[in-house]
């Protein structure tokens, strides 16, 4: 009987301890983020933070009529629509290549992580040297008699930012995919080979399927990291970026600086809703796939 | 589990509903702007161009409150004059307490350049004017601002007025019988009023009068200059005369230094004036801006000097200069025959008081002691304070201006008679003021920054205008 009691205590402790450990962090997070965030919702429904006249959903309506909010939303969407899939595909391909190298692959994966740890200011200086109008790239093109475009102030600017994003996050996503690849039992590949599956079939029916949870993880991390590109964009473009890279964070940042708190809070809540929606939908799909996988 | 799923579904539906309601407004793009366009002018109070308004008799009667309590004043930097005024005020009203919250109390750090010490100075990080404005903004918007705030620091007053941050003090001013045409420059107070006649800033100082001062030596050398009886001059007239003088001058080191500065200044003013704070629209007169930029380019030819000439070491003659702190010095220069000063009249027909060296205060609407705050401001513009030797610039009080100008002339060795002439000249200038435009520092930086890109050659004239419009729109709509 004492053994039963000890086991029960142990089980209770095992359940309670994680809650206790998390609650400390959650407490801090609530005090400094969650609660102020919830309180700030009030500003979304008033005319301005000084007079505090209730205006209902007017701020949200005006927000969606604001051409800069719409521009930021559109550009952010375009950026994500290209940057995230391209980043995931390139890092998957790199992970597959590195897996073949065995231990050397691990070393390379560490090297690929370097862009992520470099300060943004440093990387921006580097890329500006490459992509400036009289930079290395245009200089290279000039040698062949080609006139390079304005990479940082024209229609190619979004492409440059996507490239920088992929370059920066390639290593991190590759590490995640590598870890995912290592969890796939070799026996599945052996079975597939025995049954006469081709390379592509092994890849599509084994690798891709069992990498699904990793895919979702990489997708969510890429989605979150895609917002961080604002640092590089801001450092390269300044306060008044080219139209094609005017991201939503510009709108949020500048709204804060110009004291339009009601507009800021409205924008932040809309953005938060979108992020929560995307993450919830992603988790829903992941849940379903994982169920099928375990079946 | 099923309950959890149900909860998630409800949450999802709720979130989608909110999004749908907000996005349903996307089609009604024109409605809001039409509504806004119909708002009658009286409701749009901004700190932009201000004109004379008929001042009606106050309906209420102002009664001086019991002079007992505590008020606070927020300023950017310490001022001996202000502290003296506070001491005098509390001596007069012993039950009053006035706290001055000064953001910057240190001494400026002289910037060394090339081993020497330049005349520039800088404030340490965290103590700059921008930092002050950031802190003030936070205080104002969180309801923790002082009763009185200095407003001549490049604050975005248009926005503040729209948000109701500052109180309209016209009632108090109109009720003060001692503030009248005989003893005060009432035109200065009127210059600060908004289109609807409201007054959100009380001017304490009124000597930042832009003057165009022609060089007498060059006038004698070329025989060209403004008309003898001219009092006011527009930029175009000054520019034309200056160019004539430059072309006719036999002096090789003639240099039209301030000409470009005038045009740059006009460019900035036109940009700032194009903004409608109520609708957030930017309506730039593109033709005028293009003209200004063309003139700016054209003036490059007038910036050439003999080979080997060192702009910082060698002496040069300039047909005219712009003076923003005229009062005593400019008048003395004129009376001594060094310069011929004329007051700058803008293209809109107004004679502006410059925001440079302006000193004005506002009472915050949050203040629970508005009457006491007004009494303090009223005291700051009283003859007693405005005649103090440490009063910055000449004030709005006529006797104050007289005392200050006389003091400076006589201290400088001038005679009493000479001092009277100087007083009369400055008095004449101050009396001509008809308008004041508070300038949002951010807007000025945007237009000056864009102009710099044009000067660098990064942008053509058309690109400069487009970029300026985009940036101003971005600033107004974010």
Which residue from B22, B159, B446 is facing A61, i.e. has the nearest CB? B22
pLDDT at B23: 47
Is A11 within a domain? yes
The two tokens of residue A104 are 């050397």
Mean pLDDT taken over chain B: 79
pLDDT category of residue B59 using cuts at 50, 70 and 90: low
Q: Do A50 and B28 touch (CB under 8 A)?
A: no
Measured in angstroms, the CA of A179 and the nearest CA of chain B are apart by 31
Residues A205 and A233 in one domain: yes
CATH classification at residue A124: 1.10.3720.10
Nearest to A236 by CA among A138, A122, A114: A122
Residue A116, in any domain of the structure: yes
Task: Residue window 230-289, chain B: list those with CB within 8 Å of chain A.
Answer: none
Domain that holds residue B85: 69-205+357-396
Q: What is the mean pLDDT of residues B72-80?
A: 88
Cα separation, B21 vs A42, whole angstroms: 18
Q: Give residue A91's domain range.
A: 64-294
Which among A44, A240, A267, A270 is the top mutation candidate for probing chain B, defined by the most B β-carbons within 10 Å of its own β-carbon?
Answer: A240
Would you state the pLDDT for residue A254? 87
Res B42: pLDDT: 35
Query: Contact A240/B18, CB-based, under 8 Å?
Result: no
Count Cβ neighbours within 10 Å for each residue of B146-181 and write b for 16 or more, e otherwise.
bbbbbbbbbbbbbbbbbbbbbbbbbebbbbbeebee
Q: For residue B8, what is the nearest residue in chain A, using CA coordinates?
A: A280
Question: Are both A39 and A136 inside the same structural domain?
Answer: no
One domain, residues A32 and A104: no
A141 and A237 part of one domain: yes
pLDDT recorded at residue B259: 80
| A81 lies in some domain | yes
Residue-level pLDDT at B43: 34
Q: Measure the CA angle with vertex B238, ends B237 and B240; round to 5°.
A: 65
The residue among B445, B45, B50 whose CA lies nearest residue A238 is B445
pLDDT band at residue B39 using 50, 70 and 90 as cut-offs: very low
A153 with A12, same domain: the answer is no
Q: Is the same domain home to B200 and B219?
A: no
**Residue A98 and residue A95: Cα distance in Å, rounded?**
5
Is the pLDDT at B5 greater than 90? The verdict is no
Where is pLDDT greater, at A247 or B196?
Answer: A247
Q: Judge if A228 and A92 occupy the same domain.
A: yes
Query: CB contact, 8 Å: B1 with chain A?
Result: no
Quote the pLDDT of residue B18.
47
Tell me which of B342, B369, B396 is where a domain ends. Answer: B396
Q: A249 and A139 in one domain?
A: yes
Kindly report the pTM of this predicted structure. 0.75
Does residue B15 lie within any of the structural domains? no
Q: Is residue A54 part of a domain?
A: no
Is the minimum CB–CB distance between A51 and chain B shorter than 8 Å? yes
Q: Which residues of B touch A67 (CB under 8 A)?
A: 477
Listed in sequence order, the DSSP H helices in B228-326 are 235-248, 257-273, 286-298
Residues with pLDDT less than 70, chain A: 1-4, 291-295
For residue B107, what pLDDT band results from cuts at 50, 70 and 90? Answer: low
Q: What is the pLDDT of residue B56?
A: 52
Of the residues A65, A134, A253, the best mutation for testing chain B's interface (the one with the most B CB atoms within 10 Å of its CB) is A65
Give B-chain residues touching A68 at CB under 8 angstroms. 473-474, 477-478
Higher pLDDT, B358 or A81: A81
Q: Pull the structure tokens for residue B235.
A: 């930029």
For B441, name the nearest residue in chain A, comparing CA atoms only. Answer: A258
Say whether pLDDT at B436 is over 70: yes
User: Distance from A132 to chain B by nearest Cα, in Å?
Assistant: 13
Question: Pick from B21, B366, B478: which is nearest to A260 by CB?
Answer: B478
pLDDT-derived band at B134, boundaries 50, 70, 90: confident
Answer whether B22 sits within 8 Å of A57, measured CB to CB. yes
B311-335 pLDDT, tens digit each = 677 777 788 877 766 567 788 888 8
**Among the partner residues A259, A274, A276, nearest to B141 by beta-carbon distance:** A259
CA angle A78, B280, A257 (to 5 degrees): 65
pLDDT computed for residue A1 by the predictor: 54
State the total domains in chain A: 2
B22/A280 Cβ within 8 A:
no
Confidence of residue B3 (pLDDT cuts 50, 70, 90): low
Q: Tell me which residue of B130, B158, B265 sits closest to A257, measured CA to CA.
A: B130
Query: By the CB < 8 Å criterion, does B20 face chain A?
Result: no
Residue B143 banded pLDDT, cuts 50, 70, 90 = confident
Let me know whether B311 and B371 are in one domain.
no
CATH code of B383's domain: 3.40.190.10
Quote the tokens at residue A45: 């429904």
Q: Is A287 helix (H, G, I), strand (E, B) or coil?
A: helix
Quick check: is A3 in a domain?
A: yes
Identify the burial level of A69 via C-beta atoms within 10 angstroms of its C-beta, where 0-12 means exposed, 13-18 middle and 19 or more buried.
buried
Chain A residues closer than 8 Å to B163 by CB: 48-51
Per the structure, the count of domains in chain B is 2
**Residues B361, B349 share a domain:** no
Cβ atoms B445, B419 nearer than 8 A: no
Picking from B337, B366, B396, the residue at the C-terminal end of a domain is: B396
**Environment class of B116 (CB within 10 Å of its CB; exposed 0-12, middle 13-18, buried 19+):** exposed
Give domain status of residue A56, yes or no.
no
CB of B143 within 8 Å of a chain A CB? The answer is: yes
B137 to A259: CB separation less than 8 angstroms, yes or no: yes
Cross-chain Cβ contact B159/A258 below 8 Å: yes
Check if the beta carbon of residue A170 is closer than 8 Å to that of residue A91.
Answer: yes
Q: How many CB atoms lie within 10 A of CB A36?
A: 10
Nearest-Cα residue of chain B relative to residue A49: B141
pLDDT for B166 equals 92
Say if the Cβ atoms of B12 and A280 lie within 8 Å. yes
- Residue B19 neighbours by CB under 8 Å, 6+ apart: A270, A273, A274, A277
A259 touches chain B (CB under 8 A): yes
Contact A51 B164 (CB under 8 A): yes
- Are residues B216 and B78 located together in one domain of the fold? no
Task: For residue B356, name the pLDDT band (cuts at 50, 70, 90).
Answer: confident
The sign of the torsion formed by the CA atoms of B200, B443, B451, B284 equals: negative
Contacts of B478 in chain A (CB under 8 A): 68, 250-251, 254-255, 258, 260, 263
Residues B313, B171 share a domain: no
Taking CB atoms and an 8 Å cutoff, what residues of chain B touch A276?
A: 15
Whether residue B477 and residue A68 make contact (CB cut-off 8 A), yes or no, is yes
Looking at the fold, whether A163 and A290 belong to one and the same domain comes out as yes
Nearest CA in chain A to B14: A273
Using the 3D structure, point to which of B371, B396, B421 is the last residue of a domain. Answer: B396
- Those residues whose C-beta lies under 8 Å from the C-beta of residue B276, and which sit 6 or more positions away, are B282, B283
pLDDT digits (tens, 9 = 90+) for B246-298: 888 887 778 887 788 888 888 888 888 888 777 778 888 888 899 889 888 88
Mutate to test the interface with B, among A41, A59, A63, A64 (most CBs of B within 10 A): A64
Which range is least confidently modeled, B55-69, B206-220, B359-373, B443-457? B55-69
């Amino acid at each position: 009987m004492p053994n039963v009691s000890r086991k029960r205590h142990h089980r209770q402790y095992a359940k309670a301890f994680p809650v206790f450990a998390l609650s400390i962090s959650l407490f801090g997070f609530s005090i400094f983020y969650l609660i102020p965030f919830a309180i700030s919702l009030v500003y979304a429904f008033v005319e301005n933070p000084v007079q505090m006249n209730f205006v209902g959903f007017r701020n949200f309506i005006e927000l969606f009529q604001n051409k800069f909010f719409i521009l930021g939303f559109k550009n952010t969407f375009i950026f994500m629509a290209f940057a995230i899939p391209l980043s995931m595909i390139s890092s998957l391909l790199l992970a597959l290549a590195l897996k073949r190298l065995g231990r050397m692959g691990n070393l390379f994966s560490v090297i690929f992580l370097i862009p992520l740890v470099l300060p943004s200011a440093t990387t921006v200086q580097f890329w500006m040297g490459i992509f400036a109008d009289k930079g290395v790239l245009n200089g290279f093109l000039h040698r062949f008699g080609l006139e390079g475009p304005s990479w940082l102030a024209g229609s190619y600017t979004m492409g440059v930012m996507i490239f920088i994003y992929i370059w920066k996050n390639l290593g991190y996503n590759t590490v995640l995919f590598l870890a995912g690849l290592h969890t796939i039992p070799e026996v599945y590949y052996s079975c597939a080979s025995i049954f006469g599956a081709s390379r592509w079939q092994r890849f599509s029916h084994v690798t891709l399927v069992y990498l699904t949870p990793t895919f979702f993880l990489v997708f969510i991390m890429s989605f979150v990291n895609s917002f961080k590109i604002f640092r590089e964009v801001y450092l390269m473009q300044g306060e008044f970026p080219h139209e094609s890279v005017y991201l939503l964070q510009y709108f949020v940042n500048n709204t804060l600086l110009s004291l339009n708190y009601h507009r800021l809070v409205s924008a932040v809540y809309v953005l938060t809703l979108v992020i929560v929606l995307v993450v919830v939908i992603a988790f829903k799909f992941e849940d379903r796939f994982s169920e099928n996988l375990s079946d | 589990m099923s309950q959890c799923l149900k909860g998630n579904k409800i949450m999802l539906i709720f979130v989608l509903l909110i999004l749908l309601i907000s996005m349903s407004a996307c089609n009604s793009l024109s409605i809001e702007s039409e509504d806004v366009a119909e708002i009658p002018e009286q409701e749009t109070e901004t700190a932009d161009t201000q004109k004379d308004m008929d001042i009606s008799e106050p309906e209420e009667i102002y009664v001086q409150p019991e002079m007992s309590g505590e008020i606070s004043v927020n300023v950017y930097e310490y001022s001996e004059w202000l502290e003296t005024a506070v001491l005098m005020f509390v001596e007069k009203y012993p039950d009053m307490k006035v706290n001055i919250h000064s953001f910057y109390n240190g001494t400026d750090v002289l910037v060394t350049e090339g081993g020497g010490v330049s005349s520039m100075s800088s404030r340490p990080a965290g103590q700059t004017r921008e930092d002050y404005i950031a802190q003030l903004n936070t205080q104002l918007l969180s309801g923790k601002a002082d009763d009185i705030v200095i407003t001549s620091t490049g604050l975005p007053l248009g926005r503040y007025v729209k948000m109701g941050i500052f109180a309209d003090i016209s009632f108090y001013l109109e009720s003060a019988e001692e503030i009248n045409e005989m003893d005060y420059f009432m035109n200065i107070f009127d210059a600060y009023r908004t289109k609807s006649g409201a007054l959100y800033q009380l001017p304490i100082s009124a000597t930042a009068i832009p003057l165009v001062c022609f060089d007498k030596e060059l006038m004698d050398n070329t025989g060209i200059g403004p008309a003898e009886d001219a009092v006011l001059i527009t930029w175009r007239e000054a520019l034309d005369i200056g160019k004539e003088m430059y072309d006719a001058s036999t002096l090789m080191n003639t240099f039209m230094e301030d000409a470009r500065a005038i045009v740059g200044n006009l460019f900035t003013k036109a940009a700032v004036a194009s903004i409608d704070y109520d609708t957030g629209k930017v309506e730039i007169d593109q033709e005028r801006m293009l003209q200004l930029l063309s003139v700016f380019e054209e003036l490059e030819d007038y910036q050439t000097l003999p080979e080997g000439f060192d702009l910082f070491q060698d002496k040069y003659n300039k047909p005219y200069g712009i003076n923003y702190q005229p009062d005593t010095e400019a008048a003395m220069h004129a009376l001594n025959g060094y310069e011929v000063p004329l007051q700058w009249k803008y293209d809109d027909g107004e004679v502006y008081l410059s925001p440079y060296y302006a000193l004005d205060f506002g009472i915050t609407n949050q203040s629970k002691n508005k009457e006491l705050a007004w009494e303090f401001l009223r005291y700051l513009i009283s003859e007693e304070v405005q005649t103090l030797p440490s009063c910055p610039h000449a004030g709005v009080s006529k006797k104050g201006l007289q005392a200050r100008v006389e003091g400076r002339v006589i201290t400088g060795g001038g005679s009493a008679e000479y001092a009277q002439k100087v007083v009369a000249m400055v008095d004449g200038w101050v009396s001509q003021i008809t308008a004041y435009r508070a300038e949002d520092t951010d807007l000025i930086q945007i237009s000056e920054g864009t102009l710099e890109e044009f000067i660098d050659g990064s942008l053509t004239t058309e690109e400069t205008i487009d970029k300026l419009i985009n940036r101003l729109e971005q600033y107004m709509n974010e």
